[in-house]
Chains A and B, each alone.
Chain A
Amino acid sequence: MPDHEAAPADAFGAREPERVSKDGLPASDEGLSQDLRGPDAADLAAAGLAMARRFAAAATLWCAAPSWPWHAEHAAGEFAEPVEPSKPGLPAVTVPDGPLAESLRPLARSGDMLLVISRRDEPSLAGLRQRAKAWGVLTVWIGAGPRPEPGSADYVLWVDGDETTASYGGRLALVTHVLLGLTRTCLGHPHLLAPEAAACTEEVCITCSDEGRLGEVVTLGADRCAQVRTPDGLEAVDTTLIEGAGPGDLVLIHAGLAVAVVEVSPR
């Protein structure tokens, strides 16, 4: 059963409603004044494990909440809080103000994480998941209200129900607290935190050879050779095949060649 390990958010939308209600965090009734449910406890567990693995590999957690800045401060503060006064907390900070991608681009290193707390329709999140992927940054999205498209982040931890009640009434804080608790629990088992095994077991590697990889164009040279940012660092990529790509564009790289410009999804 390898699939319960780090279940990708892409599978989220395929889940039947019964399953969500059965496995979800219990519905709060009178307490939080409206019917708020979720996120799925198994998704929380998978996200906690993935985050612990990244922390164990010296990642920084970047927190952003474009419309609710205090949620980002809350998350960063909670993760950064030392468990014991003598020990340092986890490296968690808020993304500086400004357009999210622009603020994060120079700061994020490959292997880092981005925790976004927001509603679905947040203009500054457009294409951020793909960009983060090109930078090698894991994305975790906590939110409430109408659900985002499946696959909008590596981990989507969603509260179904009224967005205002969830955001201002403590439900999103609860999700953050639970996620922190699970991450800390995982960090107590360092021998289980080796980076996820690479899928390169066959002669041809499906993750790096047969498929294109995402990269972000940094500069374009005169000879159509571009500097492209990928999770492995800056790479020189030939852009002869694609017309009109410029700095900031996401491209698909295959064997040192940019084969396509990737349309950034609206959200």
Chain B
Amino acid sequence: MRKEDSGVSRRALEAGEEELRALLSDLVEKARGEAEQADRLCRSSFEALRDELERAGRAIAQRLRAGGRLYSFGGGESSINAAGIAALFARSQEGTSLAARSLACDRAPGSAPGNEPSSGRQLAVFARAGDIAMGYSTGGDRDDVIATLAKAWRRGLLTVGFTDWRDDRMTTCGMLDHCLVVASHDPHRIEEVEAALSHRLWASVQQLLEDDGDRQVTGRRQPATGQELLVAEEAP
């Protein structure tokens, strides 16, 4: 009797192990699949948005150079990207530390929408013409992000919006100087690619400002061609 029992439980155990192994190999496939998907979307997005990224980078660099500040905001999950990009611009470990701040958006699960600090109200307090507004609309309340971008546009800020295929209100609102559309419906993939695009924007702004620095040094060494300083902004 005992022997049979142990035979049964051993078989059950073996069946369980078999199933577990199958599950683990499924998981490995799934992990690779998701990463491949992310990389594919990233590549295609960079390709499709190359020109727009370059234009946006130049415009942002120009405003920062002139003393503007960058304000980032987003709803739900994308408030994370807003926080990340502001921290990246403001950090000083490498490159130039720039004036950037994310507008607080509470994404605590279960918090009542009425209690969320509105990015629009904050923008109204902080922002001036000449600043930059960067809005991420992937998660949460899109209306709030769009309303804040519209407010920013009316106040003379440079408006940069990130959006995706699930909604075309941002592309059609006509109040965005630069619109970066990630061609996907998957919130996770969109979020990752938006982070990658933001990182690229930061890198190109850093590059542009670094080029400035080089040119200014040249200008100082050769006072005769000091005019360079004045035209440096749009020089090739």
Chain A residues in the interface with B (C-beta under 8 A):
1-2, 4-5, 23, 25-26, 28-33, 41-42, 44-46, 48-49, 68-71, 73-74, 77-78, 80-81, 89, 164-165, 167-171, 173-174, 177-178, 181-182, 185-186, 189, 191-192
Contact = CB atoms under 8 A, between A and B. Distances in A.
Contact of A181 (B34, B84, B85, B87): B34
Contacts of B38: 28, 31, 170, 174
Given A26-B32, A168-B88, 16 more contacts: A1-B21, A2-B17, A5-B24, A28-B42, A33-B199, A41-B31, A41-B35, A44-B31, A46-B24, A168-B85, A169-B195, A174-B34, A177-B192, A178-B34, A189-B23, A192-B20
B80 interface: yes
A70 B80 contact: yes
Contact of B84 (A5, A44, A70): A70
Interface residues of B, number: 47
B35 A26 contact: yes
21 contacts: A1-B21, A4-B21, A28-B42, A30-B42, A30-B46, A33-B196, A33-B199, A42-B28, A44-B27, A69-B83, A77-B107, A164-B199, A168-B84, A168-B195, A170-B193, A173-B80, A174-B38, A174-B188, A177-B192, A178-B31, A182-B27
Contacts of B31: 25, 41, 44-45, 178, 181-182
Nearest to A176: B188
A211 B28 CA distance: 34
Contact of B26 (A33, A70, A185): A185
Interface in B62-106: 77, 80, 83-85, 87-88, 93-94
Contacts of A181: 30-31, 34
A59 to B, nearest CB: 17
Given A33-B200, A181-B30, A185-B26, A170 B195 contact: yes
Contacts of A165: 199
Given A78-B77, A168-B84, A174 B35 contact: yes
Contacts of A49: 20, 23-24, 27
Given A32-B39, A33-B203, A70 B83 contact: yes
A165 B20 CA distance: 35
Contact of A31 (B26, B43, B88): B43
Contacts of A167: 84
Contacts of B36: 26
A174 B192 contact: yes
Contacts of A44: 27-28, 31
A45 B94 CA distance: 35
A31 B32 contact: no
Contacts of A171: 192
Interface string B187-204: 010011111101110110
A45 B19 contact: no
Contacts of A32: 39, 42, 196, 199
Contacts, number: 146
A189 B26 CA distance: 12
B7 interface: no
B21 A80 contact: no
B24 A45 contact: yes
Contacts of B195: 168-170, 173
Given A77-B109, A80-B109, A70 B87 contact: yes
B138 to A, nearest CB: 11
A52 to B, nearest CB: 10
Nearest to A192: B20
A78 B107 CA distance: 11
A255 B198 CA distance: 56
A165 B200 CA distance: 9
A45 B28 contact: yes
Nearest to A32: B196
A74 B93 CA distance: 23
A49 B30 CA distance: 13
Nearest to B93: A164
A74 B77 contact: yes
Contacts of B156: none
Contacts of A182: 27, 30-31
